Amino acid sequence: MPIIKWTPDLSVGFESVDTDHQVLIGLLNELDDAVNVGEPRETVSRVLGSLLDYTDYHFGREEVLMRACRYPDMDAHIRTHDTLRAQVADIRSRYLRSPESIHAREVLAFLKNWLTAHILGRDKLYQPFMESDLQKVGDADRAYTEQMGQKYGDPQSSAVERA
Ligand SMILES: [Fe+2]
Ligand SMILES: [Fe+2]
């Protein structure tokens, strides 16, 4: 059973951001499955790694889009991303040093609560600004996907294929 489901009330009205959120939710569920069926440590580690990498990829996209539509509360929003980035980097380094010190279930509960609260409480607030400048936001989105794709392959499409 998935621990979290994407439902239309989580939509921020912009397709690639919704897809990112769906991928993140898919990875959280994958991590939950891996923990529940007692997958080997390498599997849990790989899924946790993908989740952390994709979080960073997604934050980068949102920040580019908020800049493109001159979202007035962008700085505060980015600070909440930076706080999570630091927490996630800490989880990852503790995990690499000593996998037993990380309780995957606690990490999962934390990320699940963080993600839903952040989408509903923060991400939704930029929706009207993005909608009022769809041309610029769309251009910035395509440029971001292309730039990241050249660097790493297209994480969005490979994650969607995997899900
Ligand atoms: Fe988001
Ligand atoms: Fe966000």
pTM over 0.95: no
For 13-162, CATH gives 1.20.120.50
Report how far ligand 1's centroid is from the alpha carbon of 85 (Å): 13
pLDDT of residue 80: 97
Burial group, residue 85, by CB count within 10 angstroms (0-12, 13-18, 19+): middle
Report how far ligand 2's centroid is from the alpha carbon of 126 (Å): 9
| Segments of the chain scoring below 50 in pLDDT | none
Ligand showing the shortest atom-to-Cα distance for residue 14: 1
Domain boundaries, the chain: 13-162
Report how far ligand 2's centroid is from the alpha carbon of 125 (Å): 10
Report how far ligand 2's centroid is from the alpha carbon of 25 (Å): 14
pLDDT of residue 112: 93
- Per-residue pLDDT reduced to its tens digit, 96-127: 888 788 888 888 899 999 999 999 999 999 99
The CA distance from 135 to 31, in Å, is 36
